[in-house]
């Protein structure tokens, strides 16, 4: 595995965080919390404070919705067109929107993501460069821990490298996990359980 | 012209006749496409769009070669980039006529020409954008998509993402692999305040001078070879070595029989004109 292409670190920006961000409407927050896979924006790129998604996010969202089983709900952390802004970085490195996911979804999601990249790049796939982050939600009971796996490297080695990183994730520990701030059937942000 | 006659014209690109002019053929294709759409024949409209792209690709490649001959190297570079983009838009439509219309040759040669250029860094703006669908004009809305798929053909036109608003430019980075290859930085003349092309185009110039026509094949082998120290007489012992190893000259190539430099060895399917130099120091 190309260790220098991937990093993994614990993050506080799991489902609990993204389902309580103040710029999302209540119904969007609930949708985020009820999903297995969520595309989340970049916050604070350079000095820009509004949430932004990399170019290609709308296509990726449609692709995942069309190809993941109906038992795997997919959402995007944005309300509507008025809030949907895209960041175009004109280096020839395709930046995938950060994907927040339940750990159980990872084995299905990663190959699907590679198929999306193959389709997007066509014959250029072997030379393509990709930047992607997966925030993996591990849970035990109602305790949750999130680990961010970030990949920056050639598209052809993405799948094997990320799968290897996923396989190295330690089992979640209740002592370090935290409960989600509110249940999917609630629409009140930051409600204490 | 019928579609079959257009296809014959496109197939003869290597020895294309002077008439009809490519612009006239483009008009024929546009007319045929209108007729297909009037019949609501989406399959034929898509096929005609593909043929339009073939014609455009061939024209761009021929224009690039012509510009190389005229020493308009940056403009040729821009044409090669457009060849690349047009071929990429055609690729997903599995037309099966790549060889018939020489698109495989054009794609391969375009990449070879691009590899000869001296450009190493490019500017890359970071922008916040809003976009819409080129087919229906609806803004990009992930939750309420318009249904058109990027890269697909609708009514004989390519579905693209059209940027309608640039809300902010957050920065401009220098990158080695740009999305937009035309974004080549040029120096500014301090006296006039105008940009000028400061690059050494010796390599593409040599290749262009050795080729008589754009469809003669050629190849390139990249090796290294030691060049005589006399070519680097101005370099002092404690200067960086001209081989660009990062070491001092005296600790690197100076004790050797010459300075190790990149060497390009061209082979041409058709012998170059007699006045083409056999060996040439370019950079």
Q: Which domain holds residue A64?
A: 15-135
Q: Tens digit of pLDDT for each residue in A20-78?
A: 888 888 888 888 989 999 999 988 778 788 889 999 999 999 999 999 998 899 999 99
Q: Is A171 within the bounds of a domain?
A: no
The pTM (predicted TM-score) of the whole model is: 0.85
Q: Is A164 within the bounds of a domain?
A: no
Which residues 6+ apart lie within 8 Å of B255 measured at CB? none
Tell me how far apart the alpha carbons of residues B132 and A65 are, in angstroms, rounded to a whole number: 20
Minimum distance, in Å, between the CA of residue A36 and any CA atom of chain B:
16
Bridge partners (DSSP) listed for residue A137:
A102, A146
- A68: closest CA among A107, A19, A29, A33? A107
Does residue A167 sit in helix, strand or coil? Answer: helix
Per-residue confidence (pLDDT) for residue A141, from 0 to 100: 74
Q: Which residue of A has its CA nearest to B126?
A: A89
Take residue B254 and report the two structure tokens written for it: 């100076």
Question: Which of B106, B110, B127, B142 best tests the A interface by mutation, with the highest count of A CBs <10 A?
Answer: B142
Does residue A187 sit in helix, strand or coil? Answer: coil
Tell me how far apart the alpha carbons of residues A139 and A103 are, in angstroms, rounded to a whole number: 8
Q: Is A145 within the bounds of a domain?
A: no
Interface touch A88/B126, C-beta < 8 Å = yes
Q: What is the pLDDT along chain B (283 residues), one digit of tens a residue?
A: 899 999 999 999 988 877 788 999 999 999 999 999 999 999 999 999 999 999 999 999 999 999 999 999 999 999 999 999 999 999 888 778 888 999 999 999 999 999 999 999 999 889 999 999 999 999 988 888 999 999 999 999 999 999 999 999 988 989 988 888 999 999 999 999 999 999 999 999 999 999 999 999 999 999 999 999 998 989 999 999 999 899 999 999 999 999 999 888 899 999 988 888 777 766 5
Total domain count for chain A?
Answer: 1
Q: Which residue of A has its CA nearest to B151?
A: A120
Cα angle for residues B55, B16, B215 (degrees, 5° grid): 85
Stretch (H or E) spanning B223: strand B218-227
Pairing of strands A93-95, A129-140: parallel
Chain A residues 84-123 with a CB less than 8 Å from chain B: 84-93, 122-123
Q: Is A174 within the bounds of a domain?
A: no
Which residues 6+ apart lie within 8 Å of A121 measured at CB? A94, A128, A155
Q: Is A19 within the bounds of a domain?
A: yes
Q: Is A95 within the bounds of a domain?
A: yes
Tell me how far apart the alpha carbons of residues A35 and A30 are, in angstroms, rounded to a whole number: 9
Q: Which residue of B has its CA nearest to A47?
A: B170
Minimum distance, in Å, between the CA of residue A137 and any CA atom of chain B:
23
Q: Is A163 within the bounds of a domain?
A: no
Percentage of chain A exceeding pLDDT 70: 85
Take residue B110 and report the two structure tokens written for it: 């375009």
Tell me how far apart the alpha carbons of residues B254 and A89 are, in angstroms, rounded to a whole number: 43
Interface touch A91/B129, C-beta < 8 Å = no
Q: Is A91 within the bounds of a domain?
A: yes
Chain A residues 46-85 with a CB less than 8 Å from chain B: 46-48, 50, 52, 55, 57-59, 61-62, 76, 78, 80-81, 84-85
DSSP state of B282: -
């Amino acid at each position: 595995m190309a260790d220098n292409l991937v990093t993994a670190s614990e993050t506080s920006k799991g489902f609990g965080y993204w389902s309580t961000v103040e710029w999302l409407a209540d119904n969007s927050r609930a949708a985020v919390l009820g999903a297995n896979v969520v595309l989340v924006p970049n916050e604070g790129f350079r000095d820009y404070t509004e949430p932004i998604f990399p170019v290609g996010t709308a296509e990726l969202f449609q692709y995942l919705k069309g190809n993941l089983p109906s038992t795997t709900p997919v959402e995007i952390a944005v309300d509507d067109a008025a809030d949907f802004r895209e960041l175009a970085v004109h280096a020839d490195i395709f930046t995938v929107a950060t994907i927040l996911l339940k750990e159980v979804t990872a084995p299905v999601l990663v190959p699907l993501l590679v198929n999306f990249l193959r389709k997007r790049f066509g014959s250029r796939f072997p030379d393509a460069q990709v930047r992607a982050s997966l925030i993996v939600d591990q849970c035990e009971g109602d305790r949750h821990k999130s680990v961010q796996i970030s990949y920056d490297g050639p598209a052809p080695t993405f799948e094997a490298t990320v799968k290897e990183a996923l396989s190295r994730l330690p089992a979640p520990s209740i002592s370090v996990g935290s409960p989600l701030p509110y249940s999917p059937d609630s629409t009140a942000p930051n409600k204490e359980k | 012209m019928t579609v079959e006659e257009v296809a014959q014209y496109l197939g003869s690109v290597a020895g294309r006749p002077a008439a009809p002019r490519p612009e006239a053929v483009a008009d024929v294709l546009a007319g045929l496409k209108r007729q297909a759409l009037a019949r609501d024949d989406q399959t034929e409209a898509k096929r005609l769009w593909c043929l339009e792209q073939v014609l455009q690709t061939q024209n761009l490649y021929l224009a690039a070669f012509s510009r190389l001959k005229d020493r308009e190297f940056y403009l040729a570079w821009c044409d090669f980039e457009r060849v690349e983009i047009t071929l990429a838009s055609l690729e997903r439509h599995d037309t099966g006529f790549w060889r018939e219309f020489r698109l495989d040759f054009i794609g391969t040669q375009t990449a070879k020409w691009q590899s000869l250029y001296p450009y190493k860094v490019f500017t890359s703006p970071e922008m916040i954008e809003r976009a819409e669908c080129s087919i229906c004009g609806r803004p990009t809305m992930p939750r309420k998509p318009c249904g058109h798929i990027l890269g697909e053909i609708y009514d004989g036109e390519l579905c693209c993402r059209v940027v309608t608003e640039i809300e902010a430019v957050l920065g401009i980075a220098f990158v080695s692999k740009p999305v937009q290859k035309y974004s080549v930085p040029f120096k500014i003349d301090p006296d006039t305040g105008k940009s000028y092309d400061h690059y050494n185009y010796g390599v593409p110039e040599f290749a262009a001078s050795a080729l008589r026509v754009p469809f003669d094949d050629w190849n390139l082998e990249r090796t290294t070879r030691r060049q005589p120290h006399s070519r680097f007489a101005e370099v002092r012992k404690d200067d960086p070595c001209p081989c660009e190893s990062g070491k001092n000259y005296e600790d690197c190539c100076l004790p050797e029989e010459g300075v190790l430099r990149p060497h390009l060895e061209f082979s041409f399917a058709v012998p170059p004109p007699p006045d083409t130099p056999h060996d040439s120091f370019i950079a």
